[in-house]
Chains A and B, each alone.
Chain A
């Protein structure tokens, strides 16, 4: 079945710096790659997603890139702010069931 590996598990940056989180997936049939942000004790919330027919997508300070050949995708956050501190999860969707397979999560800490 699909497996998603996410790195790093923890990331600490200074406010204003960029943060990059990387994920790899195993199932070449995966065609949808969302990223979720989860604050402590709360539900995951979608921040950006990308479909397999697109290589890059941006939304203000957040961007996601996808390399289908290498089966990896990355989240880029620029000009980080303390409120970006949270756990970030990548996910991949194999086939047409709609289910998502999640990475292990990255705890991002943005220091003021």
Chain B
């Protein structure tokens, strides 16, 4: 939707397992972002990438990992080290590095039990 596809929409995992969330965009955007959303806490930045093969930690990177091997793809792995992984995860992209709006995917709701 809007050129950014996140899959799956719902994901269920057992505690202790790593899980990878997919994010693909066909907007030819250079920069991509992962946000986590919890009730009452807004959106918090996990990781971002401004160019292929490069990425930076956001405010809450612990327990997560990313890769950016292709411009179109920015998968997020939630590792077993993430203490509270249950959340709504949003991927976004932008065509400009500064003063440009983010375009969001539809999100993946991850539930870990």
Most buried by B among A1, A34, A42, A44: A44
In whole Å, how far is B50's beta carbon from the nearest beta carbon of chain A? 7
Q: Are A44 and B31 in contact, CB atoms less than 8 angstroms apart?
A: no
In whole Å, how far is B40's beta carbon from the nearest beta carbon of chain A? 7
Contacts of B106 in A (CB 8 A): 42-43
Chain A binding surface SS class: loop
Most buried by A among B2, B35, B58, B104: B104
Contacts of B58 in A (CB 8 A): 99
The 8 A CB mask of A36-55 against B (1 = contact, 0 = none) is 00000011111001010000
Interface residue ranges, B against A (CB under 8 Å): 1-2, 31, 33, 35, 40-45, 48, 50, 56, 58-59, 90, 94, 96-102, 104-107
Interface residue ranges, A against B (CB under 8 Å): 1, 6, 9, 31-32, 34, 42-46, 49, 51, 89, 93, 95-105
